[in-house]
């Protein structure tokens, strides 16, 4: 039987001695905590650092985020993926200004009433932004707790979630629960990794999964759905310094992001002649000279999209419903979905803008 109270000082001491230095751990306030936690749900902390610093320069507080346009916010998020989070941040800033006079509220119920706040984000903001006791369970905490207490039930089940919450709660009974919460997150991010480094762990003496040699088997998860492969022929139509693009609609996967026109095909490779035929059919007119570009792959939700781009020089501004011609100068400041942004960069348009 584990005595949770004895674990608390071990976690606190370990964290204070071993925590990594990140910009969001300095000058903490609820806004900085909120933004960093949402970004950290996207990717690794080291990747988040430049995004966070740029975001704080552009939108240093809730008011600045509220005053920004949605396009500016999505552009600042570009590259982090899962853009609904950026849209939610913008919408939440509006709610915070209009419903809470611009101050992030300090109660769980009020935070949860704001768009985009889930139990983890609300818990993290209360812990690190307000120094209040609150349960905040991310993937790191889930891993540490399920191993340390040897929870051998699938963690997507409600009963397992409740058990994990109870175990976390039992560790938050000290004077500084926010330190313990951050220690659990840090431990999961640096030591109790999917391949655990138990020999470096402050909990190794009492960890049940380590004792039973089951650490690598936990946490138990649902079997992942198979990834679906997509093959997309991407057409970059250029004419007199303008390019044909489309802003994806609100209810589409890449909502509010720009993309070049593309056609789904069964597989790659495609012959150049076929590329020309596909482009001609898309435009309903002849295309001029064309050049195949380097392919790129990117993943989103359960899909992996393979993009094969081809640059076409047109002789006039062809009109295609729901597409628009945008000057190259303006193109580079628009938010693009990740695969198409990579294509945009490979076209050298960014350099063209800098040269001007």
| Chain contacts with ligand SF4 (rule: CB under 6 A) | 144, 147-148, 191-192, 196, 198, 201, 203-204, 207, 209-210, 215
Cβ distance to ligand SF4 smaller for residue 93 or 183: 183
Q: How far is the CB of 13 from ligand SF4 (least distance, A)?
A: 15
Rg (alpha carbons) of the chain, rounded to whole number: 24
Strands 324-327 and 303-313: unpaired
Q: What is the closest distance, in whole angstroms, from the C-beta atom of residue 168 to ligand SF4 in the complex?
A: 14
Q: Are 185 and 138 in contact (CB under 8 A)?
A: yes
Residue closer to ligand SF4, measured from CB, 207 or 279: 207
Instruction: Find all residues with CB under 8 Å of 21, minimum gap 6, and list them.
Output: none
CB of 192 to ligand SF4, least distance (A): 3
Please, which residue, 110 or 153, has the CB nearer to ligand SF4?
A: 153
Kindly state the smallest distance separating residue 128's Cβ from ligand SF4, in Å: 22
Which residue, among 233, 235, 230, 227, has the nearest Cα to 305 in the 3D structure? 230
SS3 of residue 304 by DSSP: strand
- Cβ 11 to ligand SF4, closest distance in Å? 10
Q: Considering 12, 17, 26, 37, which one is annotated as catalytic?
A: 37
Token look-up 């001695």 returns 17
Residue 180 or 347: the one with the smaller Cβ distance to ligand SF4 is 180
Distance CA 48, CA 69 (A): 22
Q: Exposed/middle/buried for 44, CB within 10 Å: 0-12, 13-18, 19+?
A: exposed
Smaller CB separation from ligand SF4, 62 or 191: 191
Q: Is residue 26 flagged as an active site residue?
A: no
For CA atoms 317, 320, 321, 324, give the dihedral sign. negative
What sign does the dihedral 311-317-322-323 (CA atoms) show?
positive
CA separation for the pair 287, 190 (Å, rounded)? 54
Active site residues: 37
């Amino acid at each position: 039987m584990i005595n949770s109270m004895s674990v608390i000082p071990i976690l606190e001491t370990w964290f204070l001695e071993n925590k990594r230095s990140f910009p969001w751990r300095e000058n903490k306030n609820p806004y900085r905590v909120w933004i960093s936690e949402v970004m950290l749900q996207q990717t690794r902390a080291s990747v988040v650092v430049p995004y966070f610093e740029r975001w704080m320069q552009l939108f240093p507080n809730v008011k600045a985020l509220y005053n920004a346009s949605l396009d500016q916010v999505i552009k600042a998020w570009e590259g982090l993926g899962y853009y609904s989070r950026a849209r939610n941040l913008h919408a939440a800033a509006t709610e915070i200004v209009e419903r809470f006079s611009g101050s992030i509220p300090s109660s769980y119920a009020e935070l949860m009433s704001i768009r985009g706040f889930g139990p983890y984000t609300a818990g993290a903001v209360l812990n690190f932004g307000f120094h209040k006791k609150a349960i905040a369970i991310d993937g790191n905490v889930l891993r540490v707790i399920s191993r340390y207490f040897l929870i051998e039930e699938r963690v997507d089940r409600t009963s397992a979630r409740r058990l994990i919450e109870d175990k976390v709660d039992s560790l938050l009974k000290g004077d500084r629960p926010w330190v313990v919460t951050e220690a659990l997150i840090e431990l999961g991010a640096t030591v109790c990794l999917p391949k655990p480094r138990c020999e470096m762990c402050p909990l190794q003496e009492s960890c049940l999964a380590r004792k039973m040699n089951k650490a690598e088997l936990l946490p138990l998860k649902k079997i992942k759905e198979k990834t679906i492969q997509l093959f997309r022929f991407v057409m970059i139509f250029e004419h007199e310094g303008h390019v044909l693009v489309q802003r994806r609609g609100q209810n589409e996967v890449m909502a509010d992001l720009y993309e070049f026109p593309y056609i789904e095909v069964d597989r790659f490779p495609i012959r150049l002649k076929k590329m020309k035929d596909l482009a001609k059919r898309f435009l309903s007119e002849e295309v001029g000279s064309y050049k195949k570009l380097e392919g790129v792959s990117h993943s989103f939700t359960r899909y992996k999209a393979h993009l094969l781009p081809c640059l076409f020089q047109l002789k006039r501004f062809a009109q295609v419903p729901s597409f628009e011609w945008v000057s190259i100068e303006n193109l580079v400041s628009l938010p693009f979905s990740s695969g198409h942004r990579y294509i945009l960069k490979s076209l050298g348009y960014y350099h063209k803008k800098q040269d001007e």
